[in-house]
Chains A and B, each alone.
Chain A
Amino acid sequence: MSDGLIIDQLKKNQILDLLKEGKRVDGRQFDEPRKLTIDIGVIPKAEGSARARLGDTEVVAGVKVQPERPFPDTGDKGMLICTAEILPIAHPSAETGPPQPPVVELARVTDRGIRESGMLDMKQLVLEKDKSVIGVFCDNAVTDHDGNLFDACSYASTAAINACKIPKYEMQDEKPVKIEGEFTEPPITTLPVSVTMAKIGGFIVVDPTIEEWGIMDARITITSNSDGNVVALQKGGSDGFTQEELIKCAELSVKVGSKIREIIKQSK
Chain B
Amino acid sequence: MGGRDTDIVLLDENGIRCDGRKVNETRKVTIKAGVLKNANGSAYIEFGDNKILVGVYGPRDVHPKHMSDTDTGILRCRYHMAPFSVGERKNPAPSRREVEISKVIKEALEPAVMLKEFPRTAVDVYMEVLQADGGTRCAALTGASVALADAGIPMRDLVAGCAAGKAADAVILDVNNEEDQAGQADLPIGYMPNLKKITLLQLDGVLTPEEYKQCIEIGIDGCNQVYEIQKKALQDKFFGSGEKQ
B209 partner residues in chain A, CB cutoff 8 A: 228-230, 250-251, 254
Cross-chain contact A104 with B100 (CB below 8 angstroms): yes
Is B216 close to A, CB under 8 A?
yes
Residue from B99, B192, B202, B220 within 8 A of A234 (CB atoms): B202
A101-B110 in contact given A229-B207, A240-B198 (Cβ < 8 Å)? no
Q: Which of chain A's residues 239-263 have a Cβ closer than 8 Å to chain B?
A: 239-243, 246-247, 250-251, 254
Distance in angstroms between the alpha carbons of A74 and B6 in the assembled complex: 12
Specify which of B100, B110, B203, B220 is in contact with A108 (CB 8 Å cutoff): B100
Q: Does B187 contact A (CB under 8 A)?
A: yes
Q: Contact string, A221-235, partner B, CB cutoff 8 A, digits 1/0? A: 000010011111111
A106 nearest in chain B by CB position:
B100
Say if the beta carbon of B206 comes within 8 Å of chain A.
yes
Task: Kindly specify which of A54-62, A110-118, A175-183 makes contact with the partner chain.
Answer: A110-118
Q: Is A204 an interface residue (CB 8 A)?
A: no
The distance from the CB of A195 to the nearest CB of chain B, in whole angstroms, is 14
CB-CB under 8 A from B206, the residues of chain A are 116-118, 225, 229-231
Chain A residues contacting B103 (CB-CB under 8 Å) are 101-102, 104-105, 236
Let me know if B207 and A112 touch, CB within 8 A. no
Decide yes or no whether B152 CB sits under 8 A from chain A: no
A116 partner, pick from B99, B100, B195, B205, beta carbons under 8 A: B205
B101 to chain A, nearest CB (A): 10
> Nearest chain-A residue to B186 (Cβ)?
A116
| Interface assignment of A96: CB less than 8 Å from any CB of chain B | no
Given contacts A243-B196, A247-B213, contact A230 B201 (CB under 8 A): no
Of chain B, the residue at the smallest CB distance from A118 is B206
CB-CB contacts below 8 Å: B195-245 with A: 195-209, 212-213, 216-217, 220
Interface centre among A108, A238, A247 (most CB of B within 10 A): A238
Interface residue from B99, B200, B204, B217 paired with A104 (Cβ < 8 Å): B99
Inter-subunit contact A241/B201 (CB<8 Å): yes
Let me know if A198 is at the binding interface, CB within 8 A: no
Q: Within residues 73 to 101 of chain A, which ones have a CB less than 8 A from any CB in chain B?
A: 73-74, 101
Query: Are the CB atoms of B205 and A231 closer together than 8 Å?
Result: yes
Taken together as a complex, chains A and B put the C-alpha atoms of A92 and B148 apart, in Å, by: 36
Say whether A236 contacts B107, CB under 8 Å. Answer: yes
CB < 8 Å: which of B110, B192, B202, B212 contacts A238? B110
Min CB–CB distance B140 → chain A (angstroms): 16
Which residues of chain A come closer than 8 Å to B1, judged between CB atoms? 116
| Cβ of B119 to closest chain A Cβ, rounded Å | 16
The answer to whether A240 and B212 have CB atoms under 8 Å apart is no
Smallest Cβ-Cβ distance to B3: which chain A residue: A118
Residue from B111, B195, B196, B204 in contact with A112 in the complex, judged by beta carbons closer than 8 Å: B204
Q: How far does the Cβ of B216 sit from chain A's closest Cβ, in whole Å?
A: 6
CA distance A225 to B110 in the complex (A): 31
A230 lies within 8 A of B212 (CB): yes
A225 to B207, CA, bound (A): 10
Given contacts A229-B209, A230-B209, A233-B203, contact A239 B111 (CB under 8 A): yes
B2: shortest Cβ distance to chain A, in Å? Answer: 8
By the criterion CB–CB under 8 Å, are B199 and A232 in contact?
no
Closest chain-A Cβ to B212's Cβ sits at a distance in Å of 5
In chain B, positions 169-192 with a C-beta closer than 8 Å to chain A are 187, 192
A73 and B212 alpha carbons, distance in the complex (Å): 29
B200 to chain A, nearest CB (A): 6
Tell me the nearest residue of chain B to A73, going by C-beta.
B4
* 6 contacting pairs across A/B (C-beta < 8 A): A116-B203, A225-B206, A232-B203, A235-B199, A242-B196, A247-B216
The list of the 9 closest CB pairs from A to B, nearest first, reads A240-B197, A233-B203, A240-B199, A235-B201, A238-B110, A116-B204, A101-B103, A104-B99, A230-B212
- Given A242-B196, A242-B197, 7 more A-B residue pairs with CB atoms under 8 Å apart are A112-B204, A231-B205, A232-B205, A235-B104, A240-B197, A243-B196, A251-B209
Q: Which residues of B contact A (CB under 8 A)?
A: 1-2, 4, 96-97, 99-100, 102-104, 107, 110-111, 187, 192, 195-209, 212-213, 216-217, 220
Binding site for B on A (CB under 8 A): 73-74, 101-102, 104-105, 107-108, 112, 115-118, 218, 220, 225, 228-243, 246-247, 250-251, 254
